[in-house]
Amino acid sequence: MIKRDLFNAEHDAFRDTVRKFIDKEIAPYHATWEEQGIVPRELWLKAGAAGMLCCTVPEEYGGLGLDYLFDVVVFEEMARSGFSGPGFLIHCDLVATYLKSFGTEAQKRQWLPKMVTGEAIGSLGMTEPHAGSDLKAIRTKAVRDGDDFVISGQKVFISNGQMCDLIVLATKTDASAGAKGVTLFLVDTSLPGFRRGKNLRKLGMKGQDTSELFFDEVRVPATAMLGEEGQGFALMMTKLAQERLAQAIRSATVCETVVDYTLAYTAERKAFNQTIADFQNTQFKLAELKTEAVVGRTFTDQCIKLFLDDKLDAVDAAMAKMWLSNTHCKVVDECLQLFGGWGYMWEYPIARAYADARIVKIAGGSIEVMKHIISRQMIADYRKSSA
């Protein structure tokens, strides 16, 4: 089997710490959290105390200043556990990353230390009822009023929406300027005019809260702007590769995990006086699924290496996201089939994995958008080489 060579002894020790945390602080309670649709804030504080949040935040902002692979360990172990709550990935890989990359010194000092400890939970406010993958079509507006901006509009499908203290919010400061009219703000959810909608009921990812958010003339100071006015779309584009890589990491890990416990189930479950694994069809199917999981892992690890060297571009990330998302859904579906009727029962992890899988073809840019990004670059490269 192909051996992973990304991690060192410190990463491995941290992985053991994360696994123990999940076993102790998440596993015994997750079924209840799925019913409630949310995890308690105390869990975030415990994760912060364990060093699991925002591992790459520099020490001057309260973090540990570790490399990206420590965040990868957290993402992988959460995916391996099969537990959908809490939304650490959004908080650590997206919100904290935007702050580190584009925030002012004052913004970093205000928010990053609290994000590291879990005192402040971060969320990303981009999707709207009429604008999903097409972010330049958002309607939430921010109008300048002296030294402030007044924000009005709504967002939907926002992970961590019920709990967030900070939102990296995409707005339109110039409705006539298309993508160049998009501006990002750091919105404190304690401000007057901000309101959370109900916790949305979803097909899967039931342990992670997801909300509509409403902004009724929320007044924020101009100093809450992230980056410069009109730069929001460009800033978002620079971080999409990292977001899509994180999703590929999750998908690769889920593929490995469900194949492993499908193997264990079929090796023990009997039918017609033999185990399910004794049937040639099962053996061939397991061989196919294992191979796809290994290919997915190898591709993902290569993308991680490119990212660590600052060489992962939008097309590489789009290919990883597209292939791993499709493979994720296929592998989970075919593994469930090998469980038979028991695979449809919620107490079996494969059932939860199946329900949680479908969103990966939509979140972070749909599969169709990924195909557009890849094919557009292919055609451009061909025409350039043929000119």
Catalytic residue list: 243
3-state secondary structure of 176: coil
Q: Are 167 and 125 in contact (CB under 8 A)?
A: yes
Q: Are 236 and 273 in contact (CB under 8 A)?
A: no
Which tokens go with 169?
A: 């919010």
Burial (Cβ within 10 Å: 0-12, 13-18, ≥19) of residue 57: buried
Using alpha carbons, list the distances in angstroms from residue 147 to 34, 88, 144, 220. Answer: 43, 34, 7, 9
CA 352 – CA 244 distance, rounded (Å) = 22
CA 275 – CA 103 distance, rounded (Å) = 57
Nearest to 326 by CA among 346, 304, 306, 299: 299
Burial (Cβ within 10 Å: 0-12, 13-18, ≥19) of residue 245: buried
Nearest to 294 by CA among 259, 339, 246: 259
For residues 172-190, one letter each, b for 16 or more C-beta atoms within 10 angstroms of the residue's C-beta and e for the rest, the string is bbeeeeeebbbbbbbbbbe
